Structure 1
Amino acid sequence: MIGNTLSALLAPLNKEQLMLLTTMATPYVQEGKWPLWGYIQDQLGRDGLNATEILHTLPKVGSQGAIGPWYGAAWHTRPHMADDARPALTVAAAVHLQELDLLIAQPFLKVLHIMIKLRLDAPSSTQEVTRPEVTRADIEQALPSLGSVFMDRLSDILNYEPATVSGMSIEGEEWTRPVSRSVLEYKHVHDLESYVRRTTELVNRSVMTPSSGGVTVVAPQHSVAPAVYVEESLIEELEHRASSTRWHLGKLVQLLRELNSNHADKNPYACHALLRAILDHVPPLLVQPVAGKLTFDQVVSNYSWSRTDQAYMRKLKDFRVQGDDVLHRQIRTTADLINMNDVPPRAWLNVLLRACIDAL
């Protein structure tokens, strides 16, 4: 089945599209970092080309809109990026650029199979959830021939592939990340073309697709979970930024995923507690301490919000009292009245997270 899956990502690119990929890839090959979007626009602009327009002509699979899981040769955060954004190329770009096939794709496939083996060999319990993890040291021990140059880039590469993107903890040059069951979907994939075909199949399966009878159905999710309360694209963006910021984002990502899970399960007390924890956790990303203290009140007052967004933040500030009620009100003889209708609208938190990401 893998070999029969068609993918737009394997189709030849036009001259302008190849110029865009090459402009992104050349500095990465030489320096190990993706170039700034401003640089890319300047380089293509010298040839009379619009980098933004070309970027959005690149083929992608999955969701063709602004929301939902998708995959293409280039990863980027939103339709109109700031000059200091760093769009990246994925393993799929190696189909069109031989230098990336040798530098990224072939080593990545070897790492993927180490992760598959680790997942298959992980112990399983009837009573406890097991969460296999892989570290940089694990990969270096299993594949010593990869070398330090590739290993320094690996955490970034894993961030842009549907099978391997996940929360990650970083300490110096060392990192640890969960190995999800989604890697098992690639058990029989051993070359670049098969990898792209398989990823196409899985990403397309994870979005809404028309059935043969003309009825729209939601296919089972494999590599990307649907948004519940916090916009999934924001969580993914935080995960992608984890390897390029001085801030440790692992706890924030986990709080957000737990919030989504508890919101889906309709657990109002857990939602209140998690949202309250998030409001206490993020202020250092947005404001400087005053008298040695950082509070969400300072975020509301001192960060440069638009009028509408600041109104949202004031509402989140007011919610903290309600969160304290859930956390600290002691047992009594009458029933508690908190329910899911008391959880704040998702838009308020999504605005806060958008600001946090932009500040990284």
Structure 2
Amino acid sequence: MTDLFNAQLSNDQQRLLHQIAAPWLAYGEPPLWGHIQHHFDADRIDADKVLASLPRIGSSTPFGAGYGFTVGPRTALAETDVVRLTVASSLVLPEVRMVVGEPFVRVLRHMVKLHTDKQFSPHEITNAQLRSEELAEAMPHLKPAFIHMLPDLLSYEPCISIAGSSRASNENSWWVGINRSILAFRDVSSVEDYIEVTSRIVVEEAAKYTRDYVRDHYVQFGPILPEPEPEPAEHERAPYIDPALLDDLEDAAKQTTWKVHKLLDLARELNANHEAGHPYASAALVRAILDHIPPVFGFREYKQLASQYVFAVRRTDGAHAKKLLDFRDIADDALHRPISPNVPVIQMGDLPEPARLNAILQELVAVLRKSASGT
């Protein structure tokens, strides 16, 4: 078991989770962080410190991916930020287990069935869809408030990759696409099963992509990995974006109406700052590139691109896009939050793995070439 299962929470930690859960369960919407701070301020308790002290598995870096009782990296939140609980909080909050955790597992099994029962074609990949109306009919015991919150819950659980989603303007009707990531949970029959599978995947991903993972968690799931190679010296750091990819990008754009001059400049400046070891400039440039490219894919914002675009290598590149979406918010937080005793320092190791952005830019090259050929 992981220490999410064995967690011994203090009174303040338990109270914090209850305060987050109460409005979420009552109204189907997670609360603002300022609402939580207000309750703790009255007792002269620093809610930010209590939040940061909650147990978490996976990466231990401030901006690293991981899993805990709340969503997202453990960094200071603004008053206007939304704070969310995960399904894992069912382990310590009986009310969340009853209203969210157990219904979520039943829906998960339904999603597995929708995926495995869908019609397959040898010439086309299609995704089954989970629809609010169909779900309410198939599982009439589900409460409307739970059905309302479900798309948000699915989008923030770290190991479920949805294949697009949409919610009607009145917010009462929605659908989410189901892809092969759901098969990781095909044998899940309880809340504990789900959290165990999710924990295993999160820790394994941290071991693959993050040098600063928590080794004692990984021991629970397999052999200890060999010690990682030391970072290269500053002058030996490889370019963040493959220079050959930039050449392909420039060449592909020649036959289209898209102008890539700014994108190339951003990419080259990113490479220069990455090589020089400048984390804040590098983070800002990654963020700028993500904001710059969506129109080529037919979207206005990167969030839409990450959630709706169907990549050629669907699962892998789709996962890269979603991880970069998480970092987009982290970079924004690191660059725009005012000075405070609680804000952590961003380091070079907190940047997303270069392979993620390279994969998205490689897809951009393919889109440019396709538009040039008229296909």
- TM-score computed with the length of structure 2 as normaliser: 0.57
Aligned Cα root-mean-square deviation (Å): 4.4
- Which segments of structure 1 move beyond 6 Å, counting only runs of 4 or more? 263-266, 269-277
Q: Distance in 1 between matches of 2:251 and 2:71?
A: 33
The whole-number CA distance in structure 1 between the counterparts of 2:248 and 2:160 is 29
Q: Contact (CA 8 Å) 1:105, 1:192: kept in 2 or not? A: yes
Corresponding residue for 2:150? 154
Q: Which of these residues, 20, 26, 43, is aligned with residue 24 of structure 1?
A: 20
Q: SS at 1:74's partner residue?
A: coil
Pairing partner for 1:103 from 99, 103, 109: 99
Shift of 1:48: 2.5
Give 1:203 deviation, angstroms. Answer: 1.0
Correspondence for 2:249 among 251, 268, 284: 268
Matched, 1:48 2:44: yes
Which residue identity is paired with 1:40? Answer: I
Amino acid at match of 1:195: Y
Structure 1 alignment gaps of length 5 or more? 1-5, 218-228, 231-262, 280-307, 324-345
String of CA shifts for 1:123-150, please: whole Å, max 9, x gaps. 2233222233222123122211113122
Aligned counterpart in structure 2 of residue 121 of structure 1, from 117, 122, 130: 117
Alpha-carbon shift at residue 114 of structure 1 (Å): 0.8
1:59 to 15, 33, 55: 55
Q: What is the alpha-carbon distance in structure 1 between the residues aligned to residue 195 and residue 251 of structure 2?
A: 39
1-structure distance, mates of 2:174, 2:83: 22
Q: For 2:113 and 2:329, locate their aligned partners in 1 and report how far apart those are by CA, in whole Å.
A: 40
Corresponding residue for residue 167 of structure 2: 170
Q: CA deviation at 1:265?
A: 12
Match of 1:10 in 2: 5
Instruction: Give 3-state SS (helix, strand or coil) of 1:26's partner.
Output: helix
1:1-360 alignment runs, 5 A limit? 6-11=1-6, 12-76=8-72, 79-166=75-162, 167-172=164-169, 173=171, 174-208=173-207, 212=223, 214-215=225-226, 268=249, 354=332
Letter in 2 for 1:168: S
TM-score, normalised with respect to structure 1: 0.59
Name the SS for the 2:176 alignment partner.
Answer: strand
Identity %: 27
Q: Deviations over 1:6-27 (max 9, x none)?
A: 1111123221110110111112
- What residue identity is the alignment partner of 1:170? R
Which segment is superposed worse, 139-148 or 203-212? Answer: 203-212
Cα 1:189/1:264, change in 2 over 3 Å = farther
SS at match of 2:142: helix
Give the SS at the match of 1:146. Answer: coil
Q: Taking structure 1 as reference, are residues 147 and 214 closer, same or farther at Cα in structure 2, changes over 3 Å only?
A: closer
Structure with the greater relative contact order (CA < 8 A, sep ≥ 6): 1 or 2?
Answer: 2
123-132 vs 109-118, greater mean Cα deviation: 123-132
5+ residue gaps in structure 2? 209-214, 216-221, 229-239, 263-280, 297-323, 337-375
CA distance in 1, matches of 2:226, 2:197: 25
Deviation at 1:352, TM superposition (A): 12
Residues 300-358 of structure 1, C-alpha deviations (whole Å, 9 max, x = no match): xxxxxxxx89x979x98xx99xx9xxxxxxxxxxxxxxxxxxxxxx9xx9599849xx9
Equivalenced residues, count: 256
For 2:149 and 2:138, the matched residues in 1 are separated by: 17
